[in-house]
Amino acid sequence: MRTLSRLKLFQASTGQLDAMRADVRARCEDRPGVYRMLAPDGEIVYVGKSKRIRTRLMSYFRCGPDEKGARIIREAERLEWDYTPSEFSALLEELRLIKRWRPRFNVQMKRDARHFAFIKVTRGAAPKLAVVRGAGADDSGFYYGPFRSAQRVEDAVRELNDVLGLRDCALDRRMHFADQPELFQLMPRTPGCIRYEVQKCLGPCVAACTAGEYDERLQLARAFLDGVDDLPIEALRCDMEQAAERLEFERAAALRDKLRRLEGLREQFLHFRFAVESLSFVYTVPGHAGEDRTYVIRRGRIRAEMAAPASAPEQLQLATTARDVFGRVEHAGAQIPTHEIDELLLLTSWFRKYPGELDRVDARWSRGTGALSGILPGADPQQFGQSLHRALSGAVTRRAGRAPLRPHQLRS
């Protein structure tokens, strides 16, 4: 019965597929664009893009019955598409449509963000550091990242929690701070895990610290993730050296491994922060039939977009916009607002995939902003492109300035 139902469904959809195929053949041009697949009730089930949209759409009708494309097209009753000036513009429009409509096949099959891990500072009482694969749809918080190798990031965050005494228990566990007034407390509280007993957690669940004391440690963690304070690393190094002096070589070796994990995390986010700061310039993209577009990009996010200037007044308008974008004072840390993560990943991926596109950037307006002040080689766009490509590829790293060290303030 189930097989028969599937067969009838397939036969019923064949006519609609033929109609959609004929429509694409008759009307669609082979140029950059985005397309939408709509179900009979009007739901957008999938959004895609291509630099040759007609070729891409026709490929769906050649898919085998078990292929991903066939599964998507069977859900659709009609196809809609819009042309864009370039492949880059199509990428941006696809991202915006996905974020707006949240098509179920895009959500199920999207994998780009899953290659990266982020460190999220949760909200609520006694926030914790959580390693996640991507931003939630309804989350307005800040993230640190992206990082490669989620397992290594989880190991490093565990060490960071241990050094600073931050909790790593379930989000729904109730917190009780020492300065939190209560009417009744009939029995002494017991911690939810052993970390408090072995002095690796401040114990906000058993009123072993005040809210201010916990927040102070959380701010130290955020300063470390921003690349401005190496206190957790210095605390581990101090413990390791003391263990070695006491001839406790096994403990010193264990601390050495913890130290290396934290140093690896720091190097990774400092490298990425430098690459993000370097993604600040004016980028002009040639478009179909002369429809060129100019994008003002700062810290890996598009802040303004306009038709490429072709006259003196239009050049003046671009100059005014660029000065406004790059003249704003912005926090230069590693925090990324949730709504900007996907665009940052898109731009980073684009310039790593097509390094030759860096020859089109104009970095004059961004001179002196963030990390750019150290890599802008005069006004030569080709040399700038080479420097930025090295930054995105991992050949350029830079260490942030260190704040005064206070390892003795932490519990060993």
5-19, 76-90, 353-367, 376-390 — most confident range: 76-90
Give the confidence band of 187 by pLDDT, cuts at 50, 70, 90: low
Question: Residue 353 and residue 356: Cα distance in Å, rounded?
Answer: 9
User: CA torsion angle for 321, 323, 329, 332 (degrees, to 10)?
Assistant: 90
How far CA 245 is from CA of 120, 240, 249, 262, 408, in Å, comes to 37, 9, 9, 22, 17
How much is the pLDDT for 266? 87
Q: ∠ CA(388), CA(350), CA(339), 5° rounding?
A: 100
Half-sphere exposure (Cβ direction) of 100: Cα atoms closer than 13 Å: 10
134 DSSP assignment: S
For residue 204, is the peptide bond before it cis, meaning its omega torsion is within 30 degrees of 0?
Answer: no
How far CA 374 is from CA of 138, 196, 370, 377, in Å, comes to 37, 44, 8, 8
How much is the pLDDT for 182? 67
The answer to which of 60-69, 152-161, 319-328, 375-384 has the lowest mean pLDDT is: 375-384
Question: Residue 412 and residue 407: Cα distance in Å, rounded?
Answer: 9
Half-sphere exposure (Cβ direction) of 13: Cα atoms closer than 13 Å: 19
Percent of the chain with pLDDT over 70: 79
pLDDT tens, position by position, 98-112: 989 999 998 755 544
32 DSSP assignment: S
CATH topology of domain 2-110: GIY-YIG endonuclease (3.40.1440)
For residue 303, pLDDT over 70 is answered with: yes
pLDDT tens, position by position, 161-176: 999 999 999 988 989 8
For residue 392, pLDDT over 60 is answered with: no
Compute how many other C-beta atoms are within 10 angstroms of the C-beta atom of residue 369: 23
pLDDT tens, position by position, 221-271: 999 988 888 999 999 999 999 999 999 999 999 999 999 999 988 888 777
Mean pLDDT, all residues of the chain: 82
Give the confidence band of 321 by pLDDT, cuts at 50, 70, 90: very high
For residue 316, pLDDT over 90 is answered with: yes
How much is the pLDDT for 412? 40
Task: Describe the strand order of the beta sheet including 301-307 as a list of residue ranges.
Answer: 301-307, 293-298, 281-285, 361-362
Could you tell me whether strands 44-50 and 33-38 are parallel, antiparallel, or unpaired per DSSP bridges?
A: antiparallel
Considering the entire predicted model, what is its pTM?
Answer: 0.76
Give the confidence band of 113 by pLDDT, cuts at 50, 70, 90: low
What does the DSSP assignment read for 148-208? S-HHHHHHHHHHHHHHHT---S-TTSPP--TT---S---S----SSSTTTTTSS--TTTT-
Half-sphere exposure (Cβ direction) of 58: Cα atoms closer than 13 Å: 12
Compute how many other C-beta atoms are within 10 angstroms of the C-beta atom of residue 230: 21
How far CA 406 is from CA of 94, 263, 383, 403, 410, in Å, comes to 48, 17, 41, 9, 8
pLDDT tens, position by position, 260-298: 999 988 888 777 777 778 889 999 999 999 999 999 999
How much is the pLDDT for 406? 45
Give the confidence band of 399 by pLDDT, cuts at 50, 70, 90: very low
Give the confidence band of 189 by pLDDT, cuts at 50, 70, 90: low
How much is the pLDDT for 227? 82
Average pLDDT (303-312) is: 96
| Kind and range of the H or E run holding 44 | strand 44-50
b (16+ CB within 10 A) / e for 304-324:
eeeebbeeeeeeeebeebbee
H helical segments located in 205-248: 211-225, 231-245
The answer to which of 136-150, 194-208, 230-244, 321-335 has the lowest mean pLDDT is: 136-150
Question: Residue 204 and residue 173: Cα distance in Å, rounded?
Answer: 10
Nearby residues of 395 by Cβ (< 8 Å), 6 or more positions away: none
Residues 384, 375: contact at Cβ < 8 Å?
A: yes
User: CA torsion angle for 124, 128, 131, 132 (degrees, to 10)?
Assistant: 0
For residue 393, pLDDT over 80 is answered with: no
Domain boundaries, the chain: 2-110, 119-183+192-264, 276-393
Give the confidence band of 322 by pLDDT, cuts at 50, 70, 90: very high
pLDDT tens, position by position, 66-107: 898 999 998 999 999 999 999 999 999 999 999 899 999 987
More confident: 31 or 411: 31
How much is the pLDDT for 378? 37
How much is the pLDDT for 65? 85
What does the DSSP assignment read for 273-327? HHHHHH--EEEEE--GGG--EEEEEETTEEEEEEEPP-SHHHHHHHHHHHHHHHH
H helical segments located in 331-406: 341-353, 381-393
Question: Residue 278 and residue 399: Cα distance in Å, rounded?
Answer: 15
CB under 8 A, 24+ apart: contacts of 189-194: 193/169
For residue 360, pLDDT over 50 is answered with: yes
3-17, 158-172, 189-203, 343-357 — most confident range: 158-172
What is the SS3 assignment for 242? helix
Query: Which residue type sits at 202?
Result: L
